[in-house]
């Protein structure tokens, strides 16, 4: 596995692969890799001939007062995980090369970026789409893999790729969870053992809503009540949003159906966690529902 810092060198390797007729799979990440990232890499490995994984804690997607400085970093461990998961190239650009002096061009997806995390974190998706567009231009992958864990991010990137005629297949991958339901996230490392227990209210609430949906409940107002009640029982939990939206457009819905995504953002202590599920798909990480 090659570890590449230079944009120019990354472009050269990717261009050579393309010229040789190799399909490039790409997994962009912010590092502190876990089994969720590894599942994307394994699928990328399966779909392509050259697997490129990037690690870049992108400063432009963090707001003032957010956790950019504190965001966990461990390149030695990440290198081992990427290697084990089949990466050929680990691309770790420096911020000074991604955003050199004079940088002033932004990619902004409009409507889909506005609600949910876009409302709580102004400018966040502008940072995401700009860096992903840059990474796509550098790597020019055949396929790029993203987790459904960041559901809105995936919707925003699909929109960007369609709107800007980018020639990349965007592949969404299911959320990988711990045995007790907690969605894997680099930010879980912020949680104390007590907070870790409280954080289970997210997956518990999703599971309960899915179970209610399965018994025939379609009213978003009632499904929301159920979700809120479960989260509000956790003293350490502070709800940022509970949203029921169309899975593609992210427009609000009043009645849930098979296309409805239930998305949550909840602060546990000082850690903001997100999770979601397609409500009709059921929640199958264990036998609970
Ligand atoms: P991040 O490093 O948090 O920016 O995530 C990089 C990619 O991994 C994104 O496409 C995420 O959606 C995806 N990802 C993060 N957590 C998970 C998870 N638990 N299961 C599947 N994919 C994930």
Are residues 195 and 169 located together in one domain of the fold?
A: no
Are residues 208 and 272 located together in one domain of the fold?
A: yes
DSSP string, 210-261: HHHHHTT--BHHHHHHHHHHHHHT-TTEEEEEEEEEETTT--B-SB--TTEE
Are residues 155 and 212 located together in one domain of the fold?
A: no
Predicted pLDDT of residue 93: 98
288 domain-assigned: no
Q: Atom 14 (ligand 1): residue with closest C-alpha?
A: 147
204 domain-assigned: yes
Are residues 169 and 203 located together in one domain of the fold?
A: no
Residue 222 Cα to ligand 1 middle (Å): 30
150 domain-assigned: yes
Are residues 253 and 154 located together in one domain of the fold?
A: no
Are residues 233 and 100 located together in one domain of the fold?
A: no
Are residues 71 and 129 located together in one domain of the fold?
A: yes
Q: Which of 28, 30, 36, 203 to mutate to test the pocket of ligand 1 (most atoms within 8 A of CB)?
A: 36
> Considering its fold, how many domains does the chain have in total?
2
Counting other chains too, the contacts that 228-235 makes at CB distance below 8 Å and 24 or more residues apart are: 230/201, 230/204, 230/205, 231/201, 231/202, 231/205, 231/264, 231/266, 233/201, 234/198, 234/201, 234/268, 235/198
Are residues 122 and 231 located together in one domain of the fold?
A: no
Residue 213 Cα to ligand 1 middle (Å): 27
Global confidence as pTM: 0.97
Residue 269 structural domain? 191-281
- Based on its alpha-carbon atoms, the radius of gyration of the chain, rounded to whole angstroms, reads 19
State how beta strands 89-91 and 2-4 pair. Answer: parallel
Are residues 201 and 81 located together in one domain of the fold?
A: no
Predicted pLDDT of residue 283: 76
Last-in-domain residue among 140, 173, 206: 173
Q: Kindly report the CATH number assigned to the domain that includes residue 233.
A: 3.30.1300.10
Are residues 166 and 198 located together in one domain of the fold?
A: no
Last-in-domain residue among 126, 147, 173: 173
Residue 37 Cα to ligand 1 middle (Å): 6
200 domain-assigned: yes
Cα separations in angstroms, 185 against 8, 35, 53, 115, 215: 31, 9, 17, 22, 31
106 domain-assigned: yes
57 domain-assigned: yes
Are residues 195 and 164 located together in one domain of the fold?
A: no
**What number does the ligand 1 atom closest to the CA of 30 have?**
2
**What number does the ligand 1 atom closest to the CA of 175 have?**
20
Ligand 1 environment, Cβ below 6 A: 29-30, 36-37, 39-40, 146-147, 149-150, 173, 175-176, 183-186
Tens of pLDDT along the chain (289 residues) come to 999 999 999 999 999 999 999 999 999 999 999 999 999 999 999 999 999 999 999 999 999 999 999 999 999 999 999 999 999 999 999 999 999 999 999 999 999 999 999 999 999 999 999 999 999 999 999 999 999 999 999 999 999 999 999 999 999 999 999 999 999 999 999 999 999 999 999 999 999 999 999 999 999 999 999 999 999 999 999 999 999 999 999 999 999 999 999 999 999 999 999 999 999 987 766 544 4
Q: Kindly report the CATH number assigned to the domain that includes residue 26.
A: 3.40.50.620
158 domain-assigned: yes
181 domain-assigned: no
Are residues 43 and 145 located together in one domain of the fold?
A: yes
Catalytic amino acids?
37
Q: Atom 22 (ligand 1): residue with closest C-alpha?
A: 147
Residue 136 Cα to ligand 1 middle (Å): 17
């Amino acid at each position: 596995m090659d570890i590449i810092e230079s944009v120019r060198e990354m472009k050269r390797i990717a261009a050579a692969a393309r010229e040789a007729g190799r399909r490039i799979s790409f997994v962009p990440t912010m590092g502190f890799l876990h089994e969720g990232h590894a599942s994307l890499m394994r699928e990328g490995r399966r779909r392509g001939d050259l697997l490129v994984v990037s690690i870049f804690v992108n400063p432009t997607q963090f707001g003032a007062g957010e956790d950019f400085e504190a965001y966990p970093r461990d390149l030695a461990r990440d290198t081992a995980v990427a290697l084990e998961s089949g990466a050929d190239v680990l691309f770790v650009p420096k911020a000074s090369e991604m955003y050199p002096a004079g940088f002033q061009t932004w990619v902004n997806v409009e409507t889909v970026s506005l609600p949910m995390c876009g409302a709580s974190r102004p400018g966040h998706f502008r940072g995401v789409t700009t860096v992903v567009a840059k990474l796509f231009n550098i790597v020019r992958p055949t396929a790029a893999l993203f987790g459904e864990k960041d559901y809105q991010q995936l919707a925003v990137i699909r929109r960007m790729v369609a709107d800007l005629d980018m020639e990349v297949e965007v592949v969404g991958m299911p959320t990988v969870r711990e045995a007790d339901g907690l969605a894997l996230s680099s930010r879980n490392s912020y949680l104390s053992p007590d907070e870790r227990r409280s954080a289970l209210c997210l997956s518990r609430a999703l599971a309960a809503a899915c179970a209610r949906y399965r018994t025939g409940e379609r009213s978003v107002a009632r499904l929301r009540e159920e979700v809120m009640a479960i989260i509000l029982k956790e003293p350490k939990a502070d709800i940022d949003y509970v949203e029921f939206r169309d899975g593609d457009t992210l427009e609000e819905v009043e009645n849930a159906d098979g296309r409805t995504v239930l998305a949550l953002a909840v602060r546990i202590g000082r850690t903001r966690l997100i999770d979601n599920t397609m409500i009709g798909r059921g929640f199958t990480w264990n036998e609970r529902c």
